[in-house]
């Protein structure tokens, strides 16, 4: 009886090993992202405290923010090319177009 129960338990573990591994990887990735966000928040808090206590750090932060906003405003917008229509052509026309473009 016990041997059958253990055999069923191990078979179940073997059957769901891939799903359990994927779930564990997702949980680990989620915890890593959460931990990273907490570390970034703590670093931001420390930087803000340093900026409040030191006018040089505050000036650096203000300049960085100003540069970032200037870069957003000055970023050129790439023109969108008009899409060409695909047409069915015979092989000779395609060969002539290829020959003209690349040779």
Long-range contacts of 41-47 (CB under 8 A, 24+ apart): none
Is residue 81 assigned to a domain?
no
Residue ranges of the chain with per-residue pLDDT less than 50: 86, 94-95, 97-103
Supply the range of the domain harboring residue 36.
Answer: 21-75
Predicted pLDDT of residue 90 = 53
Burial class of 29 by CB neighbour count within 10 A (0 to 12, 13 to 18, 19+): exposed
At residue 7, the 3 state secondary structure works out as: helix
Is residue 63 assigned to a domain?
yes
Is residue 100 assigned to a domain?
no
Number of domains in the chain: 1
Name the strand (E) or helix (H) holding 11. helix 2-15
Predicted pLDDT of residue 98 = 46
pLDDT in tens, 16-32: 888 999 999 999 999 99
Is residue 87 assigned to a domain?
no
Predicted pLDDT of residue 73 = 81
Q: What's the predicted TM-score (pTM) here? A: 0.51
Q: Given the structure tokens 């969108």, which residue do they identify?
A: 80
Predicted pLDDT of residue 33 = 95
Is residue 8 assigned to a domain?
no
């Amino acid at each position: 009886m016990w041997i059958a129960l253990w055999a069923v338990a191990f078979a179940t573990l073997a059957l769901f090993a891939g799903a359990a591994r994927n779930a564990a990887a997702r949980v680990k990735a989620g915890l890593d992202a959460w931990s990273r966000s907490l570390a970034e928040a703590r670093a931001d808090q420390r930087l803000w405290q340093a900026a409040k206590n030191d006018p040089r750090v505050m000036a650096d932060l203000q300049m960085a923010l100003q540069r970032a906003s200037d870069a957003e405003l000055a970023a050129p917008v790439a023109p969108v090319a008009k899409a060409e229509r695909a047409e069915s052509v015979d092989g000779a026309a395609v060969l002539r177009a290829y020959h003209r473009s690349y040779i």
